[in-house]
Chain A
Amino acid sequence: MGELINIFIKSAFIENLALSYFLGMCSYLAVSKTVKTAFGLGLAVIFVLAITMPINWAINTFLLGEGGLFSTDLTFLRLILFIAVIASMVQLVEMVVEKYSPSLYNSLGIFLPLITVNCAILGGSLFMVSKEYGFAESVSFGLGGGFGWFLAIIAIAAIREKIRYSAVPAPLRGLGMAFLLTGLMGLAFMSLMGIDLAAFN
């Protein structure tokens, strides 16, 4: 259990997908103008990461690996299968949410399809493979990674809402400032590398 909590903390804070690997930057920069929309996208990312990660783990282990169903090394199909799983999962999640929770659907609505091409999702799955996580670990990694990304986008959106009232030099306004802020936040997050994970056990 301690191991799983460690993975959660590590993926949420120390190896934050958005602020240490800069994954999912396109939607991160595009949808962070107000906290409200950022909140919706962040929730959707947690959701999709936590669902696709275990599924991709199962596919990678039981279908593609040498010990899998076809007992041959099919890892060259990994990218295509992963992205297909993500695209179809996003579609499925969208339909389920629409049916059972129209209010959540209305707040997530436009962001769900965007998530298919969010690098944080595919990147998360690929990191999971390269780190050789097991099933429980991949669930924890998915939740943690999603939570970290959620925190990051909420934080930048809050800062960007305030900075609109500052006298930023014209060429730097908007995008340039968002880059600078993300860089500074990345620096701040680097200080979390000092967390001693053994202390949580």
Chain B
Amino acid sequence: MADTAVAKKQGMTFGKNEKKLLVDPLSTNNPITVQVLGICSALAVTTGMKNSLVMAIAVVFVTMFSSLFTSLLRNSIPKQVRMIVQLVIIATLVTIVELTLKAVSYDSYKQLSVFIGLIITNCIVMGRLEAFAMGNDPYRSTLDGIGNGIGYGIILMAVAFVRELFGKGELFGAKIIGGSSEYMINTASEGSWMGWYQPNNLMILFPAAMFVIAVMIWIHRAWRPDLVDVS
């Protein structure tokens, strides 16, 4: 396991390197648009902001604590069985999340159904454990976990924002724009300046998530040409 330069400096300081761990995954090294990890469980839940928020919180929780625990155990895990040990740690945390969600918000639990369980196989979690937590101290691994969880959450929320607003005219279930007086902007009312608006049902369908992420990658890479794929 190659120790990075960060690992050599021990102690609980919060300097430039630690800040980098937190901020890097938000753009330069974003788990979804750059590392392409964790797409699987992300796409299906982004039809609404609320579900995405729940999912994002769950993932931040799992990445944070799995990084912490793996890093604490990193010197006593034999190399051959490290995958299984990591999977057990992740599965335990996900079970905690699942049961908590079931108790706190049964509605979201029903809607997210199998996708909460699929956080186990979310490649971000596993990827960060392999790439970072196995070779760094617990404090920095936790920061790295939080950073990656948030980087993932941001994309999730952004995709959900586009899909829910243009697909249903709602945000967090609050009616924003649509053709009746319940909505904040009523497109059916006389002389409405948004009278041309029609909700686009394509946005709620699964493939729309792919298109939205593709456009995000496009924008992100047009803004940061150094991230462009060479192949």
List residues of A whose CB falls within 8 A of some B CB: 20-26, 29-30, 33, 76-80, 83-84, 87-88, 113, 116-123, 126-127, 130, 164, 169-177, 179-180, 182-184, 186-187, 190
Contact = CB atoms under 8 A, between A and B. Distances in A.
A183 B40 contact: no
A116 B126 CA distance: 11
B63 to A, nearest CB: 15
A21 B214 contact: no
A24 B37 CA distance: 11
B144 to A, nearest CB: 19
B87 A116 contact: yes
A20 B206 contact: yes
Contact of A119 (B99, B121, B217): B121
Contacts of A20: 206
B40 A26 contact: yes
A74 B146 CA distance: 31
B57 interface: no
Contacts of B123: 26, 117
A172 B38 CA distance: 19
B162 to A, nearest CB: 13
B229 A175 contact: yes
A116 B210 contact: no
Interface in B183-231: 205-211, 213-214, 217-222, 225, 228-229, 231
Nearest to A30: B36
Specify the main secondary structure of chain A where it touches its partner.
helix
Contacts, number: 138
Given A171-B228, A180-B210, A183-B211, A26 B36 contact: yes
A25 B41 CA distance: 9
B133 interface: no
A179 B207 CA distance: 9
Nearest to B213: A179
Given A20-B206, A22-B209, A119-B40, A176 B87 contact: no
B49 to A, nearest CB: 19
B43 interface: yes
A176 B88 contact: no
A183 to B, nearest CB: 3
Interface of B: 36-41, 43-44, 83-84, 87-88, 91-92, 94-95, 98-99, 113-114, 117-118, 120-123, 126, 205-211, 213-214, 217-222, 225, 228-229, 231
Given A87-B83, A119-B41, A171 B117 contact: no
Contacts of A186: 205-207, 210
B211 A79 contact: no
Top 6 nearest A-B pairs (CB, nearest first) are A174-B229, A183-B210, A171-B221, A186-B207, A119-B40, A179-B214
Given A76-B99, A80-B91, A117-B126, A21 B206 contact: yes
Q: Please indicate which of the listed interface residues B84, B87, B99, B207 has the most CB atoms of chain A within 10 Å of its own CB.
A: B207
A180 B44 contact: no
A26 B39 CA distance: 6
Contacts of B126: 117
Contacts of B231: 33, 164, 173-174
19 contacts: A22-B39, A22-B210, A24-B40, A25-B43, A26-B123, A29-B36, A79-B98, A88-B84, A116-B83, A119-B121, A171-B219, A171-B220, A173-B228, A175-B36, A175-B229, A179-B210, A179-B214, A186-B207, A190-B206
A184 B209 CA distance: 11
A80 B88 contact: yes
Contacts of A30: 36
B62 to A, nearest CB: 12
Contacts of B39: 22, 25-26, 29
Given A79-B120, A119-B40, A170 B98 contact: no
B107 to A, nearest CB: 16
